[in-house]
Structure 1
């Protein structure tokens, strides 16, 4: 059994901070569960280009607000508490923080190793071990 607290993970190398967001990676590839689990905060009034060519992701908004725009068709979806969006087609998108920070629960498949950073195209590498 694995038991971790968000507080403990936030105080470790599992917390990754960037200009537009921070992510606490509570479950990673080395935990051997077949997926990774993250609590991510998207900062208010930010815009981040993301394109997970190598990963599928599901994201559940716990608090805050914002929007996601799929770049293939220009559709914009409002994000608020209770919204789940699923990037099941490796969707290239813009993620925008709204008037307050969004706190999100995220699941990645395949799992992240914890060392990933977005490249110029918003992509995480297939494996960063």
Structure 2
């Protein structure tokens, strides 16, 4: 059994901070579950151009407000608590936060731990792992 505390993880190398967001990676590839689980904060005013070429992702909004734009057809979907969006086709999208958003995110294949977005808005398939707990 694996048990982790979000507040403790936020004070460790499991918390990754980047431009417009931070992500606390609670479950990673090294945990051997076949997916990773993160609590991510999208800062108010952020506009993130993303394209997870190497991963599928599901994102559930816990708090805050914003939108996700599907770049394939230009559809903009409002994001608020209780909304989930699923990037099942490696969808190019823009995530915007009008109020700081707290999101629960699941990635398949799992992240190693220290990934940040590259110039295309993707995470590398192989990256430096978070060491230990």
Shorter-chain TM-score above 0.5: yes
Distance 2:19 2:120 in 1: 16
Aligned residue in 2 for 1:109: 108
Unaligned segments of structure 1, at least 5 residues: none
- The DSSP-based 3-state class of the residue aligned with 1:30 is helix
Is residue 2:18 matched to residue 1:18?
A: yes
- The DSSP-based 3-state class of the residue aligned with 2:8 is helix
Aligned residue in 2 for 1:44: 44
Aligned residue in 2 for 1:67: 67
Distance 1:43 1:20 in 2: 5
Q: How do residues 80-99 of structure 1 correspond to structure 2 at under 5 angstroms?
A: 80-98=80-98
Please provide the CA RMSD for this pair: 0.7
Give the superposition deviation at 1:72. 1.1
Give the superposition deviation at 1:106. 0.3
Give the superposition deviation at 1:115. 1.8
CA contact (8 A) 2:18 2:116 kept: no
- The DSSP-based 3-state class of the residue aligned with 1:8 is helix
- The DSSP-based 3-state class of the residue aligned with 1:64 is strand
Aligned residue in 1 for 2:127: 128
CA deviations 1:44-89 (Å, max 9, x no partner) are: 1110111000000000000000000011111100000000000000
Could you state the TM-score of these two structures normalised by the residue count of structure 2?
0.94
- The DSSP-based 3-state class of the residue aligned with 1:58 is strand
Unaligned segments of structure 2, at least 5 residues: 129-133
- The DSSP-based 3-state class of the residue aligned with 1:97 is strand
